[in-house]
Structure 1
Amino acid sequence: MNGKKVVLDTNFLLVPHQFRIDVFGEIDGLLEFPHTYVIPSGVKRELEKLAEGRGDEGAAARLGLKMLRAKGCTEVESRGNVDNWIRKYAKKENAIVATNDRELRNKLKKDGVKVVILQSKSRLGIV
C-alpha cells in the first residue's frame, strides 16, 4: 500500500445516500498526498447486515458497499469492538479515520488522530 491510510467507519459510508455526497471524491480533494482506503472487516459486516434491511438505511448500506467495491478498498481483518479496533489501528498506522460517530471522533482527537467528518451536511472536513 502506498501513502497514508484512511480508515472508513460504518456510518461514514452511509453518507453518500443520506446527503448525496461523493465521499471518496471529497476525501481525494481534501488530502493532497497519496492515500489508500482501508475497510475493517467488522465495518463491512455491519454494512452487509444493514444492507439486508429495507428503507433508507438498507439502501444507504447497499450504496456504501457498492462504492467500496468500485473504489477497490483494502479490507483488513478486525476483531472485537469495531470502534476500539479503529482507534488502535489508527494510532498504530498513523492513519486518518473517516467517521461521523461523535463519541469515536472525540476519542480519536484525544489520541491525536486526524478525522474526516461531514460538515454542514454538504461537504467533508478534517478535524
Structure 2
Amino acid sequence: MQKVVLDTNALLLPFERSVNLDSQIKSLLGNCEVYVPLPILGELKRSKNKFASAALKLALNYNVEKTEEAGDYAVIELASRLGAYVVTNDAYLIKKLREKNIPVIRFKSNSHLDFD
C-alpha cells in the first residue's frame, strides 16, 4: 500500500484553500496510509496561523510517527524510512526532497493536488 507524509502546509491546505485532502490524495494514489511526523504537531501548536488548531485536529486523524529530526528534516526522515510520497508546497522542502529522490505531491493551479 502506498504511503504519504504530510508537512505543515499540507495540513493547512483544507482550511486555507478549501481542498479535501483525503479525496485528492485518494484520487492520485488510491487507498493509502497517511502519516504526520510528530514534530509537525508541535509546529502547529506554536503556529500563529488562524487555521493551525483545525489543522492540528486533522493531523491527529492520521498516523503520527516519532522522528529523530525536526521540521522539514522530520518530513524527509519519515518519508525516507517509509518509502513514501510527501505532500507539500514548501519550495525549500521540495528542493531537498528532489535531491533525495523522494516523490512529491503539490497543490497546483489553486485547485488540486498533483504529482510534482
Q: Is the shorter-chain TM-score for this pair beyond 0.5, marking a shared fold?
A: yes
Of the three residues 34, 37, 42, the one matched with 2:34 is 37
| Residue 81 of structure 1: aligned partner | 70
Deviation string 1:88-126 (CA, Å, 9 cap, x unpaired) is 322232111111110111111121111111101111111
| Residue 63 of structure 1: aligned partner | 54
| Residue 91 of structure 2: aligned partner | 102
Aligned with 2:102: secondary structure? Answer: coil
Following TM superposition, where does structure 1 have runs of at least 4 consecutive aligned residues deviating by more than 6 angstroms?
none
| Residue 46 of structure 2: aligned partner | 49
Question: Where do 5+ consecutive residues of structure 2 fail to align?
Answer: none
TM-score, normalisation: structure 1? 0.82
Count residues in correspondence. Answer: 116
Aligned with 1:107: secondary structure? Answer: helix
Q: Are positions 1:4 and 2:7 aligned together?
A: no
Question: Where do 5+ consecutive residues of structure 1 fail to align?
Answer: none
Q: Are positions 1:116 and 2:105 aligned together?
A: yes
Deviation string 1:43-90 (CA, Å, 9 cap, x unpaired) is 01111222xx4xxx22x2122123234xx3111012333212222322
8 A contact 2:67–2:78 mirrored in 1: no
RMSD of aligned alpha carbons? 1.5
**Amino acid in the other structure paired with 2:34:** Y
Q: Percent identity?
A: 28
8 A contact 1:9–1:43 mirrored in 2: yes
TM-score, normalisation: structure 2? 0.89
Query: CA distance change for structure 1 residues 107 and 29 in 2, over 3 Å: closer, same or farther?
Result: same
Larger Rg: 1
